[in-house]
Amino acid sequence: MTTPITQELVEIKYTLYHKKINDALGLCFERESPATLYAPARYILEGKGKRIRPFLTLLAAEAVCGSSDNAFKVALAVEILHNFTLIHDDIMDQAELRHGRATVHKQWNINAAILSGDMMIAYAYELALQAKSNRHAELVHILNHANITICEGQALDMELEGKNDATIADYLDMIAKKTGRLISASLEAGGVAADGTDEQLQSLVLFGEKIGRAFQIQDDYLDIMAKEGKSGKMAGGDIINGKKTYLLLRSLELSSGADHDLLNSIIINKGIGAERVAEVKTLFMRCGVLEETTALINKDTEEALAALDNLPHAEGREYLKGFANILMNRDF
């Protein structure tokens, strides 16, 4: 009889795998010269990353074949590819801090950050090719497709910043590409490393797409609903900065009159004073966007969990479901 997979067991497994992943990442980029190439790559991997994507890769493999051994190098490849995107995103966003530390381009310079990020892409592919698998071409294709799609998502995000008439469809397309694809690719690659069937891979991709969208929309929701300081960010930071989120764009569709004008002014003026965040939050409550957003998050999460039901290994499948539930029940 299979032991029920409790939240405590999922958290224990996550802690163990988090350490294993971090220990392995610490052995990457050991070369000392050129220092401006390898030191930035080591630095970004030393940050407080949650390692969600490589953990999903390992759980996907276990849900398909019962073991994640052959997927470990792939999991590292996924995490390195993710961190490359963070380096380049921080340059484009002109961000100065990530997880409380100077961003790579601030710690070194923009040229070093770009070059180090470029090198990390090739290193990720090399790791994927070291996986014990006879399906290396598929693994590289998945990483390539994810990389191209993330770039499309970043381009759409930059275009969205300049659009005063952005729609929900624009936003959902952007987050599916910028955030969602690497999550679904993490799972798909784990399934390939475990020699999964096409049907099993489709289930993992669907799970990733649904949970990825729910996770991002939940981020938007928590930005204004989480308790001050829980996320390490100012409550309502998205509104203050005029970020086009699901809540802002959907509330524009649901509101009218003075409410609509206020929301529209946030987009046109690229933000609003922090003293007016509470007013906007009340507006969100009044137009019903908070309830609608919660319902969408729950629907996506339920559909994500249902997508896993045909995976053959119950323990791995239940760990995947358990981890998804932990992600979606967070309050930060």
Q: What is the mean pLDDT of residues 237-260?
A: 94
30-77 pLDDT per residue, tens: 999 999 999 999 999 998 899 999 999 999 999 999 999 999 999 999
Is residue 108 in a domain? no
99 within 8 A of 47, measured Cβ to Cβ: yes
3-21 pLDDT per residue, tens: 688 999 999 999 999 999 9
Is residue 83 in a domain? no
Taking the CA atoms of the chain, what radius of gyration do you get in angstroms? 20
Percent of the chain clearing pLDDT 90 (strictly above): 89
**CA 251 to CA 255: how far, in whole Å?**
6
pLDDT for the residue numbered 99: 87
For 160, residues 6+ apart whose C-beta sits below 8 A from its C-beta are: 166, 170, 171, 174, 244
pLDDT for the residue numbered 228: 59
Q: Token pair for residue 61?
A: 């493999």
Tell me which amino acid residue 82 is. Answer: H
Q: What is the mean pLDDT of residues 149-161?
A: 95
Is residue 224 in a domain? yes
Q: Which residue has the tokens 């958290």?
A: 11
203 within 8 A of 311, measured Cβ to Cβ: yes
Return the exposure string of 3-31: e unless at least 16 CB atoms fall within 10 Å of the residue's CB, then b.
eebeeeebeebbeebbebbeebbeebbee
Q: Token pair for residue 190?
A: 């784990």
Is residue 67 in a domain? no
**CA distances in angstroms from 177 to 61, 144, 151, 329, listed in the order given:** 23, 13, 8, 23
**Where residue 211 falls among pLDDT bands split at 50, 70, 90?**
very high
Is residue 157 in a domain? no
74 within 8 A of 128, measured Cβ to Cβ: yes
pLDDT for the residue numbered 332: 52
Is residue 259 in a domain? yes
Total domain count, the chain: 1
Is residue 93 in a domain? no
For 225, residues 6+ apart whose C-beta sits below 8 A from its C-beta are: 281, 290
Asked whether the CA dihedral 224, 227, 232, 233 is positive or negative, the reply is positive
Q: Whole domain around residue 247: which residue ranges? A: 217-312+320-327
Is residue 263 in a domain? yes
**CA distances in angstroms from 136 to 130, 139, 150, listed in the order given:** 9, 5, 21
